[in-house]
Amino acid sequence: MAKILIVDDSPTQMANMIKIVESHGHQTVTATNGLEGVEMAKKELPDLILMDVVMPELNGFQATRKITKEPSTAHIPVILVTTKDQDTDKVWGERQGAKAYLVKPVQENALISKVNELLG
In tens digits, the chain (120 residues) has pLDDT values of 999 999 999 999 999 999 999 999 999 999 999 999 999 999 999 999 999 999 988 999 999 999 999 999 999 999 999 999 999 999 999 999 999 999 999 999 999 999 999 999
- DSSP secondary structure code for residue 56 in this structure: S
pLDDT at 6: 98
Percentage helix, strand, coil for the chain under 3-state DSSP, each rounded to 5: 45, 20, 35
d(CA 118, CA 13): 21
CATH code, residues 3-119: 3.40.50.2300
- Provide the whole-model pTM: 0.98
Contact 37/51 with Cβ under 8 angstroms? yes
Give the model's pLDDT for residue 55. Answer: 96
